[in-house]
Amino acid sequence: METVERARGHLYSFHQLTGSADLALGEAVDLLAEAGHHEIADRLRTELVGRNILPGRWTFQVVEEYDDGYYTEFRAAERDTRERLVGGRRHLFEAEMKEDRRTHGAPGHEARPDQT
């Protein structure tokens, strides 16, 4: 699940970076036009500014499809599996590692926040 969350984060980064690139391109095209390079500006504005990244899709649509499809299904399957196998507990490996590695009774090594 953590790897899927990281993949989703990268997808959102891709979405934001692509959108920022398109906005920057639009500004560059405006500057080219102001500098008298109308043919180049018109070509870039027509061919690239606002262009789909996949057939019929901007990045927000890819993000939405991922969220509504694979991501939603993966989260539901992970939650169901966790409920059925370990009573819904999360981060089992990390909780066991914390218990094993902490110094019992030492300040800053409490098992939970309510034990400070």
* pLDDT for position 76: 98
pLDDT at residue number 115 = 79
**pLDDT truncated to tens, each residue of the chain (116 aa)?**
999 999 999 999 999 999 999 999 999 999 999 999 999 999 999 999 999 999 999 999 999 999 999 999 999 999 999 999 999 999 999 999 999 999 999 999 999 998 77
3 state SS for 4-60: HHHHHHHHHHHHHHHHHHHHHHHHHHHHHHHCCCHHHHHHHHHHCCCCCCECCECHH
So what's the pLDDT on residue 46? 98
* pLDDT attached to residue 103: 95
